[in-house]
Amino acid sequence: MRSRARGMAARRAAAVALVLAATACSHMPSMSSIKWPWAKQPTPAPAPVHVLDIAAAGSTAPFPQSFERNTLLVDLSGVSGSGSLTLKPAAGSTWPVRLAFKVTPGAVGLLEVRGDQRVVLPITGAANAPVDLELAPGVYTAATPQMTVSWGPLPPAPTADQSVPMR
Q: What is the pLDDT of residues 50-63, one digit of tens each?
A: 999 999 876 667 89
The amino acid sitting at 54 is: I
Q: What is the pLDDT of residues 107-164, one digit of tens each?
A: 888 999 999 999 999 988 777 788 999 999 899 999 999 999 999 988 777 666 665 6
The amino acid sitting at 149 is: V
pLDDT above 70: residue 76 = yes
Predicted confidence band at 5 (pLDDT cuts at 50, 70, 90)?
low
Residue ranges covered by each domain of the chain: 2-27, 48-152
Quick one: pLDDT at residue 27? 59
More confident residue, 24 or 41: 41
Q: What is the pLDDT of residues 77-107, one digit of tens each?
A: 888 889 999 999 999 999 999 999 999 988 8
Mean pLDDT of the chain: 84
The class of domain 48-152 in CATH terms is mainly beta
Q: What is the pLDDT of residues 110-124, one digit of tens each?
A: 999 999 999 999 988
Quick one: pLDDT at residue 26? 58
pLDDT above 60: residue 28 = no
* Count of other CB atoms within 10 angstroms of residue 62: 11
Q: How far apart are CA 70 and CA 10, in angstroms?
A: 63
For 120, the enclosing helix (H) or strand (E) is strand 118-122
pLDDT above 80: residue 7 = no
Average pLDDT over residues 12-40: 70
Average pLDDT over residues 33-42: 77
Side-chain half-sphere CA neighbours of 56 within 13 A: 14
* Three-class DSSP labels, 21-79: HHHHHHCCHHHHCCCCCCCCCCCCCCCEECCEEEEECCCCCCCCEEEECCEEEEECCCC
Triad 69, 75, 78: Cα angle to 5°: 155
